[in-house]
Chains A and B, each alone.
Chain A
Amino acid sequence: MRAIQYAAPTTVDDAVALLAEHGENARILAGGTDLIVQVREDGRDTELFVDAKGIPELTDLTVSADGTTTLGAATPCYELYGNDNFCAAYPAIVDAARIIGSTGIQGRASVGGNLCNAGPAGDSIPALIVHSAICNVAGPNGRREIAVEDFCTAPGRNSLEAGEMLVSLTLPSPPPNSGTHYLRFIPRNEMDIAVVGAGAFLQLDGDSITAARIALGAVAPTPLFVQAAGEALIGQTAGEAAFAAAAEIARDTASPIDDMRGTVAHRKQLSYVLTQRALRGALAHAQGGTPSNGH
Chain B
Amino acid sequence: MAVDEKTYKVVGTQPVRHDGVDKVTGRAKYGVDASMPGMVWGKVLRSPHARARIKSIDTSRAETADGILAVTTGEDYPDTGPGDYMDERAIARNRVTYAGQAVAAVAAISAHEAEEALRLINVEYETLPPILDVQSAMAKDAPIILDELRTETSGSFGNSPTNIAKHIIHEEGDVEAGMAAADHVFERSYTTSMVHQGYIEPHNALAYWNPDGSLVVESSSQGHFGIRDDLSKVLDYPKSKIRVIPAEIGGGFGGKTTVYLEPLAAVLSRKSGRPVKMTMNRTEVLIGTGPASGAHTTICLGVTNAGEITAAKIELAFEAGGYPGSAVGAGCLCAIGPYGIKNFRIDGYDVIVNKPKSHAYRAPGAPQAEFGVDCLVDEICEALNMDPLEFRHLNATKQGDVRADGTKYHTIGNIETVEAAMATDHWKTSLGEGSATKRRGRGVGSGYWMNGGGKSSAVARLNEDGTVTLLEGSMDIGGTRTSTAMQLAETLGIAIDQVNPIVPDTDGIAFTGVTGGSRVTFATGWAAIEAAKDLQAQMVSGLSDYWDVSSDAIAVDQGAFSQNGTTITFQEAAAVLHDDGQEIVGKSTVEPSGAGNTFALHIADVEVDLETGKVDILRYTALQDAGTAIYPPYVEGQMEGGVAQGVGWALHEEYVYDEDGRMRNSSFLDYRMLTSLDIPMIETVIVEVPNPGHPYGVRGVGEVPLVPPLAAVANAISQAIGVRIRDLPASPHKVRAAIASSTQ
Query: Using a CB–CB distance below 8 Å, which chain A residues touch chain B?
Result: 1-3, 185, 187-193, 195, 259-263, 265-266, 269-270, 273, 295
Using known A-B contacts A187-B672, A188-B674, determine if residue A260 contacts B116 with beta carbons closer than 8 Å. Answer: no
Contact A1 B675 (CB under 8 A): no
Contacts of B677 in A (CB 8 A): 188-190
- Could you jot down 16 A-B contacts, CB within 8 Å? A1-B112, A2-B116, A187-B652, A188-B672, A188-B675, A189-B675, A189-B677, A192-B669, A193-B670, A263-B737, A266-B732, A266-B736, A269-B612, A270-B612, A295-B609, A295-B612
Using known A-B contacts A188-B672, A188-B678, determine if residue A265 contacts B737 with beta carbons closer than 8 Å. Answer: yes
Return the contact of B112 from the options A2, A187, A266 (Cβ within 8 A). Answer: A2
Docked pose: A295 CA to B677 CA in angstroms: 14
Docked pose: A19 CA to B737 CA in angstroms: 48
Contacts of B271 in A (CB 8 A): none
Using known A-B contacts A188-B677, A266-B733, A266-B737, determine if residue A261 contacts B670 with beta carbons closer than 8 Å. Answer: yes
Secondary structure class of chain A's binding surface, majority of residues:
loop
**Residue-wise interface mask of B (610-632) relative to A, using a CB-CB cutoff of 8 A (1 in contact, 0 not):** 01111000000000000000000
Contacts of A188 in B (CB 8 A): 652, 672, 674-675, 677-678
Per the 8 Å Cβ criterion, residues 98-155 of B in contact with A are 112, 115-116
Q: Shortest CB–CB separation between residue A85 and chain B, in angstroms?
A: 29
**Residues of B within 8 A of A (CB-CB), count:** 26
Q: Shortest CB–CB separation between residue A195 and chain B, in angstroms?
A: 7
Contacts of A261 in B (CB 8 A): 670
Instruction: Give 8 new A-B contacts, CB below 8 A, not counting A185-B612, A187-B732, A265-B733.
Output: A1-B115, A2-B112, A189-B675, A195-B732, A262-B733, A269-B612, A269-B736, A295-B609
Contact A185 B614 (CB under 8 A): yes
Docked pose: A185 CA to B615 CA in angstroms: 12
Contacts of B670 in A (CB 8 A): 193, 260-261
Q: Does B61 contact A (CB under 8 A)?
A: no
Q: Does B731 contact A (CB under 8 A)?
A: yes
Contact B733 A273 (CB under 8 A): no
From B609, B611, B669, B672, residue with most partner A Cβ within 10 Å: B611
User: What residue of chain A has the Cβ atom nearest to residue B658's Cβ?
Assistant: A260
Q: Does B665 contact A (CB under 8 A)?
A: yes
Contact B665 A260 (CB under 8 A): yes
Contact A260 B732 (CB under 8 A): no
From B609, B656, B732, residue with most partner A Cβ within 10 Å: B732
Return the contact of B611 from the options A187, A191, A269 (Cβ within 8 A). Answer: A269
Docked pose: A295 CA to B652 CA in angstroms: 17
Q: Does B664 contact A (CB under 8 A)?
A: yes
Contacts of A266 in B (CB 8 A): 613, 732-733, 736-737
Contacts of B731 in A (CB 8 A): 187
From A188, A190, A193, A263, residue with most partner B Cβ within 10 Å: A188
From A193, A195, A266, A295, residue with most partner B Cβ within 10 Å: A266
Docked pose: A40 CA to B184 CA in angstroms: 58
Contacts of A185 in B (CB 8 A): 612, 614, 732
Contacts of B613 in A (CB 8 A): 266
Contacts of B672 in A (CB 8 A): 187-188, 192
Using known A-B contacts A187-B731, A266-B737, determine if residue A260 contacts B656 with beta carbons closer than 8 Å. Answer: yes
Contacts of B732 in A (CB 8 A): 185, 187, 195, 262, 266
Contacts of B614 in A (CB 8 A): 185, 187, 295
